[in-house]
């Protein structure tokens, strides 16, 4: 922070607030906010759990009382329960730049990472025994990849995403990367890294948990092989909502899941002892899907009707730019340092601020109605969901942060 940020005049604060109101008035996505259950606070933790779309409870009530309560077993056919994993996958597909028939909604992100990494190692074939893993990855991805490596006889090679091209070689089978770093908000080069992986003859697996619903992904355009993602962050599917698995059409015939459950059988009701995989994205299914959570997600996806991902990305960048400007203007000099890249090409939809007393600052922010989260030991993390976060929210969050930090000057 600059020395001029030590104090902010009343006129400076007023100028930023006026600018925020002007930006909100011109925001083409502003009306989407009315679709969500929000209070008078500022919710900047949608990168952990998205807000509830207002119409979802009534839809879930229908699932419980009519589909389950009245139709019961008939709902597998009459209410479309059986086809839900692929049907909802096709609704997610445009948000990540995929054509229909390549995404199945099922299980958790962790389970899908396991399926994807093992299947990718099998697609890569013999003679390749290394799995490169993002060294900064969300811990579960690393745990799962290590287990997959033990199962397949591969070895794990942790590597920073920027160093992947230099680490690739003839022994590389799979590269597992995060599109956006969960801690810093850094956006990694999916097109460039995917091309480098392919040039080395390996298979690229991407984790989209912190990018899907916040920015364009372009799975088909950039030739991604396999991808996984959760649905409870920017897609607002609800706590524990099922994840999804993308398998590019060119790989579907060779996709050999390590979890061949009855739901992915070509003839699931034949109950035969031998396994024969279904065609298409259904190969990514395993057991009986969690229908209530899945249909909750399906209802939540209605908020995306008529919304383009490019418009979401434009607002996301504007929100994060404005937040950084407000922090620069309001926060006492030297109290926080942004660890989120300033370059748009390297930024997701969050801002992470390093703060020595972050562990005590975040609870005080929450008490004052500004909800972000803490990444220990010293990172304040703020997520910006463009469908319901406005510019006045951003200005208020920075102002409250400055007030909290001023009350406790730190060490």
Q: Which residues are the active-site residues?
A: 138, 207, 232-233, 381
Distance between CA atoms of residues 199 and 178, nearest Å: 19
∠ CA(359), CA(410), CA(47), 5° rounding? 35
Give the residue from 355, 387, 403, 291 showing the smallest Cα distance to 60.
291
Q: Which two tokens stand for residue 226?
A: 């396999």
Rg of the chain on CA atoms, in Å: 22
Structure tokens at 299: 């209802």
């Amino acid at each position: 922070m600059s020395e001029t940020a030590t104090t902010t005049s009343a006129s400076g604060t007023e100028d930023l607030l006026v600018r925020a109101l002007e930006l909100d008035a011109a925001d083409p996505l502003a009306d989407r906010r009315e679709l969500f259950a929000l209070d008078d606070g500022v919710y900047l933790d949608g990168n952990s759990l998205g807000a509830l779309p207002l119409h979802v409870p009534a839809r879930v009530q229908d699932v419980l009382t009519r589909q389950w309560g009245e139709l019961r077993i008939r709902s597998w056919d009459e209410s479309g329960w059986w086809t839900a994993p692929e049907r909802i996958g096709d609704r997610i597909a445009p948000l990540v730049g995929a054509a229909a028939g390549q995404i199945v909604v099922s299980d958790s992100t962790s389970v899908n990472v396991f399926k994807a990494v093992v299947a990718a190692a099998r697609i890569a074939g013999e003679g390749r025994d290394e799995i490169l893993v993002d060294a900064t990855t969300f811990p579960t991805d690393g745990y799962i990849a290590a287990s997959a490596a033990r199962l397949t006889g591969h070895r794990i090679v942790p590597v920073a995403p920027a160093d992947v091209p230099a680490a690739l070689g003839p022994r590389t089978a799979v590269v597992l990367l995060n599109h956006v770093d969960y801690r810093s908000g850094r956006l990694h080069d999916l097109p460039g890294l995917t091309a480098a992986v392919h040039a080395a003859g390996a298979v690229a697996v991407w984790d989209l948990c912190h990018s899907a619903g916040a920015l364009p992904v372009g799975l088909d355009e950039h030739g991604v092989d396999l991808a996984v993602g959760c649905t409870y962050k920017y897609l607002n599917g609800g706590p524990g909502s099922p994840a999804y698995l993308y398998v590019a059409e060119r790989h579907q015939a060779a996709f050999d899941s390590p979890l061949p459950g009855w739901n992915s059988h070509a003839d699931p009701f034949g109950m035969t002892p031998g396994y024969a995989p279904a065609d298409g994205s259904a190969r990514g299914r395993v057991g009986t899907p969690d229908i209530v959570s899945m249909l909750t997600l399906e209802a939540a996806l209605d908020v995306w009707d008529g919304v383009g991902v490019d418009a979401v990305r434009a607002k996301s960048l504007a929100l994060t730019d404005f937040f950084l400007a407000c922090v620069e203007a309001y926060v006492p000099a030297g109290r926080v340092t942004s660890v989120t890249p300033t370059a748009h090409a390297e930024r997701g939809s969050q801002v992470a601020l390093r703060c020595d007393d972050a562990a005590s600052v975040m609870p005080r922010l929450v008490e004052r109605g500004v909800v972000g989260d803490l990444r220990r030991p010293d990172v304040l993390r703020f997520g910006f969901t463009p469908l319901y976060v406005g510019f006045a929210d951003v200005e208020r969050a920075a102002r409250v942060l400055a007030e909290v930090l001023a009350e406790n000057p730190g060490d």
